[in-house]
Homo-oligomer: A and B are copies of this chain.
Amino acid sequence: MTAVPQALADARSSIDNLDAALVHLLAERFKITQRVGELKARLDLPPADPAREAEQVRRLRTLAEASQLDPEFAEKVITFIMTEVVRHHVQIRDGVSPVEDGNVGGSR
């Protein structure tokens, strides 16, 4: 009986490790999209690029299928992230500082 709660604890420890990696990846991703937003504002490019986004979704669905992750779920997560990034690019274009007290990436 003690073996089973141990199995749950072990699984949770792995989930925690993966989640930490996830947060750090997202942090790095937002550092890059922040630069993209500034570049787009400087070049007068639109904050969103539907063709690029469709290509990202298509590619990530394929990667999800290859790694046995539900592609619908992968699409929902990436769309959620991309929506946040575009909102952020709009703020940069409009001269609203999206960076307050050192935080990058969104809705505060």
User: A: which residues have CB within 8 A of B?
Assistant: 4, 7-8, 11-12, 14-16, 18-33, 35-36, 39-40, 42-43, 52, 56, 59-60, 63-65, 67-74, 76-78, 80-81, 84, 102-108
Query: A58 → chain B, closest Cβ, in Å?
Result: 12
B104 near A68 with CB under 8 A, answer yes
Identical chains in the assembly: 2
Complex contacts, A73 vs chain B, CB 8 Å: 26, 30, 84, 105-107
Picked from B4, B18, B28, B60, the residue with its CB within 8 Å of the CB of A29 is B18
**What distance in Å separates the Cβ of A74 from its nearest Cβ neighbour in chain B?**
6
Q: How far is the CB of A10 from chain B (nearest CB, A)?
A: 9
